[in-house]
């Protein structure tokens, strides 16, 4: 049976030392934690200089301990490493629960991030390994050049992956926060409401959409120009589109151009690109229809209520060459009534056949559908 203790006739290079597998494991875990600490130094320097210096010291010390654990192992070193690691974990718990009396926000707990979760996990895992090394007596062992690396490989692999994740998250150039203050609060700042398109010589297509309460097929709805869906807006690619929203609703509203490339101030996202249009007020949107295709417009204020209530319509941008004569398109807009009934309205009616609309250009074989009841799911996905 194989043994770490040499037989009399075996290799005479016998040394009393701790388990090499435990040593390698503790060293790799310590080194991985140090790498994460060093990776987050830049963000902590920006937050508070002393914090950045602290993380430099901790990272360098942990890297030195990782080397010392393998090259000069001793019970005193194991105990010192375990005590220091325990102190770091305890300090982390304090910063995430009650906060520190110093720093950018004294007494305010810091948010938990990926780097610190990874780092603390590495340190917590290393603690029992260090304590076992400190408690277990030394044994006479012969070198195991193949067995030791194989036995330590799982820990090395997991620690390496964890270090890459933690350090990568710490080095990522994603801002922790950003300022939405007025432009005067920061040098060179520009208000989002100023991000409007420059005037140009394009042909202008002008529309007015009046948002107001109404009743369709016995259902209380909200309409544009008394219609559900709202009127179809048809323009040519390259036109300058100018749409004035008149709000006759008892609540605020906006217009959003779904899938259309527009300047920031024309996007209609209440609270982000503009203030919502108050009852009785108006707002004029203006943009150049840069892309041909079938799009839709809708309210972007209280979307879970206003879109099912009927505040949406189709926007068709035809190519400069005109429609494709051999194809016929019928724009079909589907939605569920806002009163919660199970009927699905097709172009504003629950009849089996939708009301007829004008023929319009469409790419061959395409029948666009715009389903308002799916808008909530759209909000959870990236896209325009």
Weakest mean pLDDT among 73-77, 331-335, 375-379:
375-379
pLDDT in the model for residue 199: 82
pLDDT at 107 over 50: yes
Burial of 200 (0-12, 13-18, 19+ CB in 10 A): exposed
- Please tell me the predicted confidence (pLDDT) of residue 117: 92
Strand partners, 373: none
Three-class secondary structure of residue 349 per DSSP: strand
Give the C-alpha separation, 79 to 98, whole Å.
28
71 has a pLDDT exceeding 70: yes
33 CA to centre of own chain: 26
What's residue 188's pLDDT? Answer: 64
Model confidence at 226, pLDDT cuts 50, 70, 90, reads confident
81 Cβ contact partners less than 8 Å away, ≥ 6 residues apart: 26, 30, 65, 69, 126, 130
pLDDT of 47: 77
Which whole number is the average pLDDT over 329-358? 57
pLDDT of 348 > 70? The answer is no
Could you give the CA distance from residue 286 to residue 112 in angstroms, rounded to a whole number? 43
Per DSSP, which regions of the chain are E strands? Answer: 15-17, 139-141, 204-216, 219-224, 230-236, 240-247, 256-258, 282-288, 293-298, 312-318, 332-335, 345-346, 369-371
Domain ranges within the chain, ordered by starting residue: 15-171, 201-379
Contact between 81 and 30 under an 8 Å Cβ cutoff? The reply is yes
56 or 150: whose pLDDT is higher? 56
The answer to whether the beta carbons of residues 194 and 143 sit under 8 Å apart is: no
Q: How confident is the model at residue 164 (pLDDT cuts 50, 70, 90)?
A: very high
Q: Could you tell me which residue, 3 or 313, shows the higher pLDDT?
A: 313
**CATH label, 201-379, candidates 2.60.40.420, 3.20.20.70, 3.30.1370.160, 2.60.40.10:** 2.60.40.420
**Which of 258, 246, 327, 262 is closest to 298 using CA atoms?**
258
pLDDT (0 to 100) of residue 103:
83
Alpha carbons 315 and 294: distance in angstroms, whole number = 6
- Looking at residue 92, what is its pLDDT? 93
Query: Is a pLDDT exceeding 60 seen at residue 209?
Result: yes
How does residue 15 score in pLDDT terms, banded at 50, 70 and 90?
low
- Position 377 scores a pLDDT of 35
pLDDT confidence of residue 374: 37
Confidence of residue 135 (pLDDT cuts 50, 70, 90): confident
More confident residue, 44 or 192: 44
The mean per-residue pLDDT over the stretch 182-208 comes to 74
Q: Do the Cβ atoms of 344 and 381 come closer than 8 Å?
A: no
Q: What is the mean pLDDT of the chain?
A: 78
Q: Is the pLDDT of residue 282 over 80?
A: yes
pTM exceeds cut of 0.85: no
Q: Binning pLDDT at 50, 70 and 90, where does residue 356 land?
A: very low
344, pLDDT greater than 70: no
Dihedrals phi, psi of 327, to nearest 5 degrees: -120, 150
- Strand-by-strand arrangement of the 219-224 sheet: 219-224, 204-216, 240-247, 282-288
State the average pLDDT over residues 121-134.
93
**Residue 83 pLDDT more than 90?**
yes
Task: Give yes or no for residue 195 having a pLDDT over 80.
Answer: no
Please name the helix (run of DSSP H) or strand (run of DSSP E) that holds residue 137, with its range, or none.
Answer: none
pLDDT tier at 32 (50, 70, 90 boundaries)? very high
Report the pLDDT value the prediction gives residue 368, as an integer from 0 to 100: 40
Residue from 290, 249, 253 nearest 268 by CA: 253
């Amino acid at each position: 049976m194989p043994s770490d203790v040499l037989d009399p006739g075996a290799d005479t290079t016998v040394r009393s030392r701790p388990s090499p597998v435990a040593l390698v494991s503790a060293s790799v875990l310590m080194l991985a934690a140090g790498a994460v600490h060093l990776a987050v130094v830049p963000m902590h320097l920006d937050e508070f200089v002393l914090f950045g210096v602290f993380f430099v010291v901790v990272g360098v010390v942990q890297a030195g301990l990782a080397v010392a654990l393998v090259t000069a192992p001793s019970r005193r070193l194991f105990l010192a490493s375990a005590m220091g690691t325990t102190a770091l974990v305890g300090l982390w718990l304090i910063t995430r629960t009650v906060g520190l009396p110093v720093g950018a926000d004294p007494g305010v707990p810091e948010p938990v991030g990926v780097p610190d979760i990874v780092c603390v996990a590495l340190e917590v895992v290393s603690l029992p390994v260090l304590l076992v090394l400190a408690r277990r007596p030394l044994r006479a062992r012969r070198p195991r050049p193949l067995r030791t690396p194989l036995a330590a490989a799982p820990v090395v692999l997991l620690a390496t992956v964890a270090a890459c994740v933690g350090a990568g998250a710490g080095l990522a150039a994603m801002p922790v926060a950003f300022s939405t203050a007025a432009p005067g609060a920061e040098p060179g700042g520009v208000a989002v409401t100023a991000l409007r398109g420059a005037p140009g010589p394009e042909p202008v297509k002008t529309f007015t959409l009046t948002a107001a309460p109404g009743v369709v097929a016995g259902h209380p709805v909200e309409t544009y120009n008394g219609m559900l869906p709202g009127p179809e807006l048809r323009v040519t690619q390259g036109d300058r589109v100018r749409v004035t929203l008149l709000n006759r609703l008892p609540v605020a509203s906006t217009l959003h151009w779904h899938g259309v490339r527009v300047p920031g101030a024309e996007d209609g996202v209440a609270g982000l690109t503009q203030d919502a249009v108050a009852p009785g007020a108006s707002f004029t949107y203006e943009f150049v229809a840069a892309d041909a295709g079938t799009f839709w417009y809708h309210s972007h204020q209280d979307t879970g209520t206003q879109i099912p209530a009927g505040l949406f319509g189709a926007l068709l941008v035809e190519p400069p060459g005109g429609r494709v004569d051999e194809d016929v398109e019928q724009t079909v807009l589907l939605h569920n009534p806002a009163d919660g009934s199970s009927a699905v309205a097709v172009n504003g009616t629950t009849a089996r056949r939708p009301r007829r609309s004008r023929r319009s250009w469409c790419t061959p074989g395409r029948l666009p559908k715009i389903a308002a009841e799916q808008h909530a799911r759209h909000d959870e996905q990236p896209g325009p």
